[in-house]
Amino acid sequence: MRSKLFALFVPTNTVGKAFARDLKGALEISAEKRSSIIPKLMPVLFPNTPDEMDHAAQTLSNESGVAKDEIESLSRVAKVLLSAMNTPEMTDSIEDWAADLVELGLIPADFSESFRQLASEVRRTLLADAFTATARSAAASGVLPTLRGFGATVELRGIFAEPLRAGVGVSQSTPEVTDLVPMISVGITLDTDSPSLYFQATPTELGLLVDALAGAISQADELQRRVHIEQSHRS
């Protein structure tokens, strides 16, 4: 192998087969459509949530007329290439990658030019933004788990006049609902080994949390605005 990227690549293992499928899907997109899609891949490559990635891929599919799964294949290939391009010790050239892909049997020789065009387009239109997005993600993550998604459901729970007690026959009691209490169940997904966190709260309790988060967002916006002002003064 001529490149460091593919020096230890095994086409027959799970990762190798997945990359081969993605590469095939990406190269089946016409060069013209790829050139219009690749510059718009950032929301697919670096989404804030999985839902955002799915929505961005579907939007690109609708705009381009290219199947969503092919958009996703192209984005995964682009992410592999961007990761290598952003690694200082990875001194491979696009020519090296193309030659290795032909040698590995992942693309026929007459597809090497198509791959070179794809990789060059990724470097030209995405590399700078990908480097910034990766740096921001690393800075934002710090040492704490990072939010990846969330959802909520609402339900009504009954309050009964006489709660059931051990030793009291259920058949001998008549349930009487005296009130209904709304409860909100919240699920949060984090980027940890145990990614799910669930809790419940009343609308009032959750409202206090929402107010606190809104205040934090306002402070973050003001902080960012102040930094931009300082930067503009320096320049």
- Contacts (Cβ under 8 Å, ≥6 apart) of 3: 92, 93, 96, 97, 99, 100
Helices 14-28 and 68-85 cross at an angle (nearest 10°) of: 110
Q: Share the mean pLDDT of the chain.
A: 86
Percent of the chain with pLDDT over 70: 90
CA atoms within 13 A on the CB side of 181: 12
Q: How confident is the model at residue 174 (pLDDT cuts 50, 70, 90)?
A: confident
- Give mean pLDDT, residues 25-34: 94
The residue-averaged pLDDT of 129-136 equals 74
Structure tokens at 20: 């081969």
CA dist list (Å): 218 to 72, 93, 142, 221, 224: 34, 45, 21, 5, 10
Q: Average the pLDDT over 50-55 and give the result.
A: 86
CB contact set of 66 (below 8 Å; sequence gap of 6+)? 29, 33, 37, 60
User: What residue ranges do the domains of the chain occupy?
Assistant: 14-141, 147-163+174-234
- Over residues 228-235, the mean pLDDT reads 73
pTM equals: 0.60
Residue 141 has pLDDT above 70, yes or no: no
| pLDDT above 70 for 175 | yes
